[in-house]
Amino acid sequence: MTDVTVKQLVDNLHLRVISGEDYLNRNVATADISRPGLEITGYFNYYPSDRIQLFGRAEATYLSKMTSDERLLIMRRLAKEDTPVFVFSRDQYPEYEAIQAASENGIPILGAPTTTTRLSSSMADYLHGELAERESKHGVFVEVYGLGLLIMGASGVGKSEAALELIKNGHRLVADDRVDFYQKDERTLHGEAPAILKNLMEIRGLGIIDVMTLYGAGAVRSDQELNLIVHLKRVEKGDHFDRLGSDQEMVDILGVNIPRITVPVQMGQNISNIIEVAAMNFRARNMGFNATETFEANLSRLIDENKG
């Protein structure tokens, strides 16, 4: 987990710098957002000073009713050494005393035209993604029919070649070779490429290619939820594979269970077509259509009829 600077917050959420441009290198170490309503009234027993302090209409109105000395006293108490930034929503402009207290302690003040609730949600979502614990996996991460598929397997099994065929078929690349996953919430993982590998693929015999340059911006995306792992395995003597697809494997990544299927790889197979069908079958299962269960039900009915 790494800190996020206030400058990154400004650039990614398009916030306006009201004061303290020289202090934008301050770090934001937590995704939690604080609205200091109680503190403005003088109650500082549980003040979370290390959080972004977000001032909505209620907080700004209360401050405006104070005398100048009262405002300065409260804002100085809010401006702690570890306080990263003050943010004002709804295009509100802070009182002079707020700017003075922030400047005294090297704290920048930002503004935004959006509502307080929406601004709080946007900042929290961005920070959760940036500050979340990450786990790297070796493979190719692609979006197929809106689903995030991580293609894994031994070196040389054809992961990148299959992904390239998928891209040619209109699907999108998220990351090749190494994928960084982080937990979006308790049940959701998102993956993205490391900055140095963004939009790039390594194809044996060709070297490094830039997918966006060759296929356009519609062939890539920056991040994607992980829905299914497709493990490519060369067929070897003695291997046994689940022919009906009734056994569902699960893989734990950062505490989230992700389903995994194993696809046997043999000479002459069109792996990209199989992966496309795997994605469609996974979506159908999630909608309640299970071909394996239908087959087993038909088989059981046929056995019962023969017994009769």
- List per-block mean pLDDT (blocks of 10 residues) for the chain, which spans 308 residues: 86 96 94 95 94 96 95 96 96 95 96 96 91 91 96 90 94 95 87 93 91 95 95 76 64 92 81 91 82 59 59
- Which residues span the domain enclosing 67? 4-130
Phi, psi of 96 (to 5 degrees): -55, -40
Do the domain assignments include residue 45?
yes
Question: What is the chain's length?
Answer: 308
Both 93 and 198 in one domain: the answer is no
How much is the pLDDT for 292?
60
Both 145 and 206 in one domain: the answer is yes
Both 119 and 139 in one domain: the answer is no
Both 140 and 280 in one domain: the answer is yes
* Binding-site positions for Mg(2+): 160, 202
| Residue that finishes a domain, picked among 88, 112, 130 | 130
Both 180 and 253 in one domain: the answer is yes
Both 114 and 155 in one domain: the answer is no
How much is the pLDDT for 238?
59
Instruction: List the structure tokens of 296.
Output: 């087993």
How much is the pLDDT for 264?
85
* Binding-site positions: 153-160, 202
Do the domain assignments include residue 55?
yes
Residues designated as active site:
138, 159, 177, 243
User: How many domains does the structure of the chain reveal?
Assistant: 2
Both 80 and 22 in one domain: the answer is yes
